[in-house]
Structure 1
Amino acid sequence: MALRWEQVIVHCADPAALGRWWADALGWVVVYADDDEFEIRPDPDTRPGVDFVRLDEPKTGKSRLHLDFTSDDQDAEVARLLALGARRVDIGQGEQSWVVLDDPEGNEFCVLRAPSA
């Protein structure tokens, strides 16, 4: 018996708005939506997915878990995400090769440079 990764849960104030933002950012599809939950996946039959679940408590402090992404063109991808509504944030990372952003509800994530071939 082995564990299989099903999804990441993101607690948020507005599951539909944040879920749509991430669906646009990742190019993923919506597989479930109601007033309190909004799930996206790479395609309907592929897991893991991300499930946005309503939580009325506000986010306080730095996230204890964040996602890292790579792109063939880090600068272009960062610009695209900023245009979608992401913001650059300083979490004490200093000068690094990655860029720390946060989504519209303040969840930090990083855009890394593509690995060298």
Structure 2
Amino acid sequence: MALSIGMITFDSANPGPLATWWAELTGGRIEQDNGGYFYIVALPDSAQKLGFQAVSDPTPGKNRVHLDLNTEHLDGEVKRLVAAGATEVHRQELDDFSWVTLADPDGNLFCVASGH
């Protein structure tokens, strides 16, 4: 037997706007809106999905799991994400590999990388 990733899910006090934000920035689409409680975003050209579920008290502090996204145009993509409401947290470079840690509008950390 083997496991496969079915979905990566974010807890949110207000999941609708967060699902919309991620759908717009990934080129995905909201596939399901389950009465405002749970949204599913289908990512383009992928079987992967992002979930956004309503919780009354999202987990505080640094998230232990995060998304690593890739781009060929790191600075341009970071500018686009920040203009859309993300917050730049940290930049890192290691040899020919660079990445930027950002936070989405709910404060969930994610990385955008370029290189290798």
Matching residue of 1:104: 105
Matching residue of 1:35: 36
| Partner secondary structure for residue 110 of structure 2 | strand
1:87 aligns with 2:116: no
Deviation at 1:46, TM superposition (A): 4.7
**Runs (5+) with no aligned partner, structure 1:** none
Q: Which amino acid aligns with 1:60?
A: P
CA distance in 2, matches of 1:98, 1:69: 9
TM-score (structure 2 length as normaliser): 0.86
CA distance in 2, matches of 1:48, 1:104: 21
CA distance in 2, matches of 1:25, 1:63: 20
Deviation at 1:28, TM superposition (A): 0.4
CA contact (8 A) 1:87 1:103 kept: yes
Deviation at 1:114, TM superposition (A): 3.5
1:10 aligns with 2:10: yes
Deviations 1:4-23 (A, max 9, x none): 22101110111110000000
**Runs (5+) with no aligned partner, structure 2:** none
Deviations 1:7-58 (A, max 9, x none): 0111011111000000011000111012111110125x95220110001114
Deviation at 1:95, TM superposition (A): 4.2
Taking structure 1 as reference, are residues 102 and 16 closer, same or farther at Cα in structure 2, changes over 3 Å only? same
- Segments ≥4 residues shifted beyond 4 Å: none
Deviation at 1:60, TM superposition (A): 1.5
The structure in which a higher percent of residues are strand is: 2
Give the paired residue count. Answer: 111
